[in-house]
């Protein structure tokens, strides 16, 4: 990466009322408002190209591989034979890209509410999707994913939920409630597994993760929090994987390398060794998370800053 001049502009992502991340801007490529959200695509000096929605970083060229492998492969490898997969959100096409690496996949349906975001990602983020939208196994739909699940009875082996955080007025807020997770469970096949990104996993910011975890637990009690450090998020970022029929509780980390080998996956970040690190949760985080009593409800939505 080249270094910024002394005088340069900064993109400031405010992460709480008292904290922010700053990225030195090389080139400002896109700033537009779609019917659903504010979209910005920026070339930064350190992290390369970055996508922001409603001012929040979604992914960066330098480390999107870590984020997308961490989101997709635990659920996909915990399932013995994922054939039908649903991606909820996932605008950049990188979640889809990682799903399609599994030769077991016969169909991957992606439902992203925002046609404009996906069109911009197709044009500006080719390193993310790498042609995944053109794979004949893919069906791409533009609709609210909750409405889609309510109106369609199709079932899936794995669902990967790659939504932005539930910011005020954002399009994803009704997809973090127990009502939504019940619907997800209904639309999973027997033995089905879901995974999602679930917010910052560092202690001062743990409230959202804890509330999401406790909400899913009411519906699918066989669940795990895990995390990966994402440099462009400047944080240990959390994910949750949960199963419909309690099939992942006793899952052995050694299985990851064996199944990845069987599926001929040459992964960059995720492996049995990485799995052990990602699923090892510090005691203070576990304690705080397990003490959470909030259940996110359609009448009491979670809002993060």
What positions carry a catalytic annotation?
A: 162
Nearer to ligand SAM, 42 or 251 (CB): 42
Beta strands 188-200 and 56-60 are: unpaired
112 is an interface residue for ligand SAM by CB under 6 A:
yes
Please give the torsion angle defined by the CA atoms of residues 247, 253, 257 and 259, in that order, rounded to the nearest 10 degrees. -10
**Binding positions for ligand SAM, 191-250, rule CB under 6 A:** 197
Nearer to ligand SAM, 71 or 265 (CB): 71
117 is an interface residue for ligand SAM by CB under 6 A:
yes
89 is an interface residue for ligand SAM by CB under 6 A:
yes
Sheet strands (E) in the chain: 10-16, 19-33, 38-44, 48-53, 56-60, 84-89, 107-111, 138-141, 156-162, 188-200, 222-230, 235-243
Binding ligand SAM (rule: CB under 6 A), the pick from 129, 162, 177, 212 is: 162
Beta bridge partners of 188: 156
Q: Which range of residues in 24-32, 85-93, 100-108, 278-286 is near ligand SAM by CB under 6 A?
A: 85-93
Q: Which range of residues in 2-10, 101-109, 167-175, 286-294 is near ligand SAM by CB under 6 A?
A: 167-175
Beta strands 38-44 and 48-53 are: antiparallel
Q: Which range of residues in 21-29, 161-169, 248-256, 293-301 is near ligand SAM by CB under 6 A?
A: 161-169
3-state secondary structure of 220: coil
87 is an interface residue for ligand SAM by CB under 6 A:
no
Binding ligand SAM (rule: CB under 6 A), the pick from 113, 184, 228, 240 is: 113
112 contact partners, CB below 8 Å, separation of at least 6: 89, 90, 91, 118, 140, 141, 142, 145
Binding ligand SAM (rule: CB under 6 A), the pick from 61, 69, 114, 200 is: 114
């Amino acid at each position: 990466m080249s270094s910024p001049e002394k005088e340069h502009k900064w993109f400031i992502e405010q992460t709480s009322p008292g904290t922010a991340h700053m990225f030195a801007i090389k080139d400002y490529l896109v700033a537009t408002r779609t019917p659903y959200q504010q979209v910005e695509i920026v070339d930064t000096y350190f992290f390369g190209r970055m996508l922001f929605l409603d001012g929040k970083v979604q992914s960066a060229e330098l480390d999107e591989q870590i984020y997308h492998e961490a989101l997709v492969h635990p659920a996909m490898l915990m399932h013995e034979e994922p054939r039908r997969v649903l991606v909820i959100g996932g605008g950049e096409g990188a979640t889809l890209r990682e799903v399609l690496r599994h030769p077991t996949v016969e169909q991957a349906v992606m439902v992203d509410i925002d046609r404009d975001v996906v069109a911009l990602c197709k044009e500006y983020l080719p390193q993310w999707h790498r042609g995944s939208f053109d794979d004949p196994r893919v069906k791409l739909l533009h609709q609210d994913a909750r409405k889609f699940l309510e109106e369609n009875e199709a079932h899936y082996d794995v669902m990967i939920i790659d939504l932005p955080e539930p910011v005020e007025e954002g399009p994803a807020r009704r997809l973090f409630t127990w009502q939504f997770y019940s619907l997800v469970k209904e639309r999973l096949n027997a033995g089905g597994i879901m995974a999602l990104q679930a917010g910052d996993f560092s202690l001062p910011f743990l409230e959202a993760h804890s509330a999401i975890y406790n909400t899913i637990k009411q519906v699918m009690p066989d669940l795990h929090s895990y995390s990966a450090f994402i440099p462009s998020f400047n944080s240990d970022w959390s994910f949750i994987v949960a199963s419909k029929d309690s099939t992942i509780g006793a899952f052995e980390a050694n299985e990851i390398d064996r199944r990845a080998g069987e599926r001929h996956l040459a992964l960059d970040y995720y492996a049995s060794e990485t799995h052990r690190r990602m699923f090892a949760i510090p005691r203070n985080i576990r304690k705080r998370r397990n003490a959470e009593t909030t259940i996110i409800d359609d009448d009491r939505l979670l809002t993060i800053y």
